[in-house]
Amino acid sequence: MIDIQERLFPHIHQNDALLNKVEILLEGWHILEIPVLATEQYKKGLGETLDAVRTRIPAWNAVEKKAFSCCDEPEFASSLVRSGKTNVLICGIETHVCVLQTTLDLLNTGYQPVVVTDAVSSRFPADKEVALGRMQKEGAILTTVESILFELARVSGTESFKAISRLVK
């Protein structure tokens, strides 16, 4: 989860819809026991992660960064390596800066980024759209909150599936 911070967030296009999707995504990840790595870009200038987001992540701990790409932050990079994961689900802001650069760096280092398109945004819609197009062309997978949560749930009838179904309604 990339840089969903209090001083930048009010300027993001359709931020209420974005916040709703991020909250659903984070709740779904919690249900499915998907670990979350969170970042904060230059906290002194952009502030803390939104309370509404931070409270949805158990054992909250964000990596502060000054580089735009999360991969340029050694603490983030080492946490990702320790996780043993090769697929990286991405949500956050801004799509055309930190999300884009992180996605490209993940691709270049052998990871498969999966960008959740309705859980990323920018100040201007055109910046988001161009960035998503570039990410897809470079090899990132694009998906939506509902699609990825059901893909990760895999089957119906389980408690996880039922909880996910309630979230997306």
Q: Is residue 139 part of a domain?
A: yes
Among 21, 70, 98, 105, the one annotated catalytic: 98
Among 21, 65, 70, 91, the one annotated catalytic: 65
Residue-level pLDDT at 114? 98
23-41 average pLDDT score: 95
Over residues 54-74, the pLDDT tens digits come to 998 888 889 999 999 999 999
* Domain span at 55: 9-168
User: On the CB side of 148, how many CA atoms lie within 13 Å of its CA?
Assistant: 27
User: On the CB side of 145, how many CA atoms lie within 13 Å of its CA?
Assistant: 23
Q: Is residue 3 part of a domain?
A: no
* Residue 3 appears among annotated catalytic residues: yes
Among 3, 21, 70, 128, the one annotated catalytic: 3
Q: Is residue 35 part of a domain?
A: yes
**61 CB-near residues (< 8 Å, 6+ apart):** 38
This prediction has a pTM of 0.95
Cα-Cα-Cα-Cα dihedral sign, residues 38, 76, 5, 113: negative
- Decide: residue 134, CB within 10 A, 0-12 exposed, 13-18 middle, 19+ buried: middle
- State the CATH number of the domain containing residue 56: 3.40.50.850
